[in-house]
Structure 1
Amino acid sequence: MNRKYKFACALTVLTLALTGCASKGPKVEEPKPNPLPKLVNPQTLSSVFSTSVASTSEADPLRLRLDSNNGVVYVINPKGEVEAYQGKQRLWQKNVSKQGLSSGVEAAEGLVVVGNQKGQLFALDQATGEQKWTAQLSGAILAPSLIHAGRVITVANDGTVYAHELDTGKQAWTYSLPNVQFSLRGQAAPVALDARNVLIASANAYIYAIDALSGAPRLQRRMAVTEGRSDIQRLVDIDGEPTVAGQFLVTTSYQGQVTVMDMVSQQVIWSEDASSTQRPEVSGNGVFVAQNDGKITAYEITTGHKLWENDQLLNRKLSNPVMLGQNLVVGDLDGVLHLIDPSTGNIIGRAKTSGDVRTLRVIDNQLFVATRKGAMSIWQNR
């Protein structure tokens, strides 16, 4: 067990963060989740697809996710399988890894890419599920890869960024992020910045822009700071994916800040204290953040002015927020999907799945949901 993984155990006990393993130390009583607020004439969602896969450990912050490409939905099973569905019809099912799978699915350019905790990266043919190539990385793969500019970009949990050629799987380049003595167990997925460059978020609160073709660094910028005295208090990981919205780049960090940078000037334009391990959402002039304590906060994107804050879902271990149509949606530890008016912060509806909601995505105006208990589902507005 490496040092990073060991520290994740201690962090669970001392700070109740979502980390990598359970502790045998004294039991720490967690704050009780707020009860669900009563709603009058609540809106809801319609389920259009659902399936069940194996659950993951409650102590491991894996964020398995579904993906969709060309009308086909790809589902990952932690036991090592990948499935493809068109509508409710299963097109194929493949047992990919006897060691299980630990990253979400990335599907694009004819490939389906998944990874496991042994650092094995698998590329499958979208049409048949047959394995096209595999690669060995230097650390566990806990976040989905990104297919971009003819490359498969993957971040290993030891901080090494890998690029493999899309067609052959040949390693094109690697980039090593700075070594961090302590960090949360988890990793933000790579994000496309533009047609050629990708963004990588790191455990030292920096963002790196890297040329996907050559591996040359294009930008390095610190996005958060901490004034903690102990190693735990100084943790300031960026575990949620950065959000690119026009000229703006938005990040959140654990025990740090929500920060907005203008990519034209490459200058931070504002930063406000907020602790979050989730990807922020941007819609119109609003930046929406689900904080670790359960508060949901909206900021004006150009000024950082706080538009509203909702504290009705305290201690409900919220997922990342996403926009579905005209509503903001966030999931919680009981599998409840909360519909929120993005202009006021008022909760206006809900739907229910099963288990702690780990990831939300919106693809083609449909909500893709993955939970710790293995409930994989797709929803749409009624």
Structure 2
Amino acid sequence: MANFYSFTTVRRGLAVLLVAALSACASGPDQPKPADLGANPALLGVRSVWRAQIAPVHFPLQVKVVGNNVVLAGSDGTVLSFDAASGAPLWRTQVGAPIAAGVGSDGRFAAVVTRDNELVVLDAGQVVWRSRLTAQVFTAPLVAGERIFVLGADRSVAAFDAKTGRKLWQQQRPGEALVLRQSGILMAIDNTLVAGLSGQLVGMNPLNGTTLWDVPVAQTRGTNDIERLVDLVGGVSRQANEVCVRAFQTAVACVDTLRARVTWKRAADGAVGVQGDDSQLYGVESDGRVLAWRHTDGEPVWRSDRLRYRALSAPLALGRSVVLGDATGWLHFLSRADGTPLAQMATDGSAIVATPVVAGNTLVVVTSQGGVYGFQPE
């Protein structure tokens, strides 16, 4: 994970990069030193089954799982698909420009956005069309129903025909001047397109972009643009029609999308997404505390301080463990019951840059140096 939060300021459709050194885990002489991890507790059997290599990753990568396969990309413009069981590449394509956001896929079509604000769509691994966008994009496109949906940094949402590239519609709403330079929320729930727009979780008609419901998760606060930033960050937990999300350094909340209301909300100071199961929700605070909340009402269940100041990834709930990566390439397995450490695995020493994912029986992680690792927990 990066040591600096990055923001983009958006005014009159123009995007200008603004970087603010605000991370609680930023490096520096006054920052607390992470505690020594000690020996691997080895209370959970985890074995390495394969390793692959891609280009270094310096954008907010989202690894897409489609069945037993994973689709991912490197910053140099390479997009590729792996068989998760063996690590064997299924296809590899170069889109011809550095990548800023990706990857979205439905198994046939895959989509990324380049740093030149170009949406590039592949069919079975071959580039079939490109479309110039009007704003920067940091969230992987959503591929669903033979459409490509794109969430722009200017808080626009657009839809394209996956086969032809024809723009079907675009909707935009005003918002605060700053947006996070990291993945936001763009997903499908049944026949509804769901997007995070500022501090709102918004349900949209995927056929024309009209708003079906709008739920405020967090309100703006403070007196300047940075203090007022309330973007919803990528990485959500979905159980049936309930979606749990994080508002950047403000709150975690669960939203009933059928009734369009917040079920519960808790103050929380984190910057990465959440994940959970039918009983608990798991999240990471900015200082590396790992928390579990009761899924029904948000009551705290446990807290682990063991991984503080390690710049953790968003969590993955897997088996009897919660899996997290850190800035030094370690993969940590904590007990879902009480947060105690179960196991730890090393990668290449560089930051784990995307939320770990599971495809079939294989846990897949990617590092900033482009290492792709397949593990199989017991």
Name the TM-score class by shorter chain. 0.7 to 0.9
Shift of 1:212: 1.3
Q: Distance in 2 between matches of 1:271 and 1:2?
A: 27
TM-score of the superposition, structure 1-length normalised?
0.87
User: What's the CA shift for 1:209?
Assistant: 0.9
Equivalent residues of 2:25, 2:311 under 8 A apart: no
User: What is the CA–CA distance in structure 2 between the aligned matches of 1:84 and 1:94, rounded to whole Å?
Assistant: 9
Indicate conservation of the 8 Å contact 1:256/1:274, yes or no.
yes
Deviations 1:181-224 (A, max 9, x none): 12332231411122x1121113x211111111221111111102
Change beyond 3 A, Cα 1:49–1:214: farther
Distance verdict in 2 for CA 1:85–1:259, change over 3 Å = closer
Question: What RMSD over aligned residues (CA atoms) do the two structures have, in Å?
Answer: 2.5
Q: For the residues of structure 2 that align with 1:190 and 1:137, how far apart are their CA atoms? A: 17
C-alpha deviation, 1:68, in angstroms = 4.0
TM-score (norm 2): 0.88
C-alpha distance after superposition, 1:258-305 (max 9, x if no partner): 111223332222211112222211112101111111011111111111
Give runs of aligned pairs for residues 127-276 of structure 1, distance below 5 A.
129-194=125-190, 196-202=191-197, 204-225=198-219, 227-276=221-270
Pairwise mapping of residues 240-319 of structure 1 onto structure 2 (< 5 A)? Answer: 240-319=234-313
CA distance in 2: counterparts of 1:244 and 1:190, whole angstroms: 13
Pairwise CA distance, 1:229: 4.5
**1:379 paired to 2:375:** yes
Does the residue aligned with 1:356 lie in a helix, a strand or coil?
coil
Contact kept? 2:8, 2:181, Cα under 8 Å: no
In the other structure, the counterpart of 2:89 is: 90
Mapped partners of 1:380, 1:177: distance in 2: 44
- AA partner of residue 198 (structure 1): L
1:89–1:249 distance in 2 versus 1, CA, 3 Å = closer
CA 1:229–1:111 in 2, change beyond 3 Å: closer, same or farther? same
Residue among 113, 116, 119 paired with 1:118: 116
Match of 2:47 in 1: 46
Cα 1:321/1:91, change in 2 over 3 Å: closer
User: How many residues in Structure 1 have an aligned counterpart in Structure 2?
Assistant: 364
Residues of 1 paired with 2:263 and 2:180: CA distance?
27
Whole-Å Cα distance in 1 between the matches of residues 237 and 186 of structure 2? 11
Question: What CA distance in whole angstroms lies between the structure 2 residues aligned with 1:212 and 1:43?
Answer: 43
Tell me what 1:24 maps to: none
After superposition, give the CA deviation of every residue in 1:108-159 in whole Å (9 maximum; x if it has no partner). Answer: 1511212212111111122xx2211111111223221111223111112222
Partner SS state of residue 103, structure 1: strand
8 Å CA contact 1:210, 1:216 repeated in 2: yes
Q: Deviations over 1:59-101 (max 9, x none)?
A: xxx222433435444331211112333434434332212x311
Distance 1:179 1:109, change over 3 A: same
By relative contact order (CA 8 Å, sep 6+), the higher-ranking structure is 2
Give the secondary-structure state (helix, strand or coil) at the position aligned to 2:234. Answer: coil
Instruction: Name which of 319, 322, 333 aligns with 2:316.
Output: 322
Deviation at 1:169, TM superposition (A): 1.5
Aligned partners of 1:69, 1:265: CA distance in 2, in Å? Answer: 30
Higher strand share: 2
Distance 1:108 1:162 in 2: 18
Aligned partner of 1:106 in structure 2 is: 104
CA 1:83–1:330: 2 relative to 1, 3 Å: same
Identity of aligned residues (%): 23
Secondary structure class of the residue paired with 1:284: coil
- The answer on whether the counterparts of 2:147 and 2:161 sit within 8 Å (CA) in structure 1 is yes
User: Does the Cα contact within 8 Å between 1:256 and 1:275 map onto a contact in 2?
Assistant: yes
Letter in 2 for 1:294: G
- The answer as to whether partners of 1:146 and 1:189 remain within 8 angstroms in 2 is no
* Structure 2 portions without partners, runs of 5+: 1-6
**Which residue is equivalent to 1:23?**
none
C-alpha change, 1:30 and 1:250, in structure 2 (3 Å) is same
C-alpha spacing 1:18/1:54, structure 2 compared with 1 (3 Å): farther
Measure, in 1, the Cα distance between the counterparts of 2:123 and 2:25.
34
Report the counterpart of residue 3 of structure 2 in structure 1: none
**Which deviates the most, 30-39 or 112-121?**
30-39
Q: SS of the residue aligned with 2:18?
A: helix
1:22 corresponding residue in structure 2: none
Structure-1 separation of matches of 2:226 and 2:9? 14
Distance 1:172 1:6, change over 3 A: closer
- Tell me if structure 1 keeps the 8 A contact 2:313–2:353: yes
